Structure 1
C-alpha cells in the first residue's frame, strides 16, 4: 500500500450492503447522497487491482457504470432497469492500492427512452478517468428475468422508494 493509504471512507459516505449481483465485486462500495445528488467511491484494494498493484480498468469501468446509471435514474426520478448501451472511458492516471477514488457527475441528459451521463473518477491527486455512458430506459417490464427491478444503489434515495 502507498503512504497515503486509507482504511475508512471519507465522512458522509455509507457502505452499501452485499447481495446486488455483479456490483458486489466492488465491495466495499460506498455511496454519498446529498442535495447535490449521489456519488460513489471505493478504497482501492487488492480485489480491485491488477498485477501492477493499481486499480484495474475493469473496476474503474464498473464504478463508472454504477454511478452513471444511478445519475440517469435519479434524473428520471424513478428506479428502473437501465441497461448500458455504451460506456466509454479515458484512463488518465493510476489509482494505487489504499487510495480513495470517487465519482463526480459532470452532466446528465434525458431523452424519451435514453439517458446520457458523463463524469470523472478522482483521487486526491486529480482525475483518474473520465467517462460517458448511454442507457436504455425500456418502456416495457420484460428486461429482468423475474419482472422485478431491484433498487440496488439508489435504495432509499427517491421519494417513491422511501419507507412510509
Structure 2
C-alpha cells in the first residue's frame, strides 16, 4: 500500500527525541492558535485488528499537548514539560492508512503546572479526546527541543 502524502503545509516535527524518531514520523503545521500535529497510520503503528494501536495513539496525544504548548507559549520555549497525568478517551478506530491529526489548547498555566486538552481526528472523524497535566520544568541547557 502506497502512503498518501500528508495534507498541504505539514512538515516533519522539529522537536522531540529518539523515541519520536523511532515511532513517527510526526508532522507539524502552522503556528500560534492554528498549530497542528499529524501522522499517517502505517502498518507498524497497527494492532492485530489492523487499526492504530492505542499505545501509538497515546504516544501521539502525549506529544500533541506539550508540543502545542511549547509552540504557542513563548515563556515555555526551551523548557522540559514532563507528563504528570494523561487522560485519553478513545472514540473510534483510526484504520491503516488514515491521516491522524490533532489540535490542542492550554486551559490553565500556573507557576509549575500546565493544564491542556485536545481533540484528535482520523480522516476528519474524531478518534480521541485527550487532557493532561504537565510539570513546567527548568530551562534545558543549550537545547531547543525540550518539550519532547
Q: Same fold (TM over 0.5)?
A: yes
CA distance, structure 2, for counterparts of residue 68 and residue 19 of structure 1: 13
CA distance, structure 2, for counterparts of residue 87 and residue 19 of structure 1: 18
Q: Does structure 1 retain, via aligned residues, the 8 Å contact 2:116–2:132?
A: yes
Which residue does 1:9 correspond to in 2?
A: 6
Q: Does structure 2 retain, via aligned residues, the 8 Å contact 1:92–1:127?
A: yes
Which residue does 1:80 correspond to in 2?
A: 79
Deviation of 1:18 (Å): 9.5
**Aligned residue-pair number:** 146
CA distance, structure 1, for counterparts of residue 66 and residue 72 of structure 2: 10
Aligned ranges 1:70-109 → 2 under 5 Å: 70-77=67-74, 78-109=77-108
Aligned partner of 2:60 among 49, 60, 63? 63
Which residue does 1:51 correspond to in 2?
A: 48
Aligned ranges 1:77-156 → 2 under 5 Å: 77=74, 78-138=77-137, 140=138, 148-151=142-145
CA distance, structure 2, for counterparts of residue 27 and residue 17 of structure 1: 12
CA distance, structure 2, for counterparts of residue 150 and residue 18 of structure 1: 7
User: Could you report, residue by residue, the CA deviation over 1:122-145 in whole angstroms, capped at 9, with x for unpaired residues?
Assistant: 02252101000110012x46xx7x
Deviation of 1:148 (Å): 5.0
CA distance, structure 1, for counterparts of residue 105 and residue 14 of structure 2: 26
Higher Cα Rg, which structure: 1
Q: 1:79 to 1:70 in 2, by over 3 A?
A: same
CA distance, structure 2, for counterparts of residue 10 and residue 71 of structure 1: 18
Question: Aligned-residue CA RMSD in angstroms?
Answer: 2.6
Structure 1: runs of 5+ lacking an equivalent: 155-164
Q: Name which structure has the greater RCO, CA cutoff 8 Å, separation 6+.
A: 2
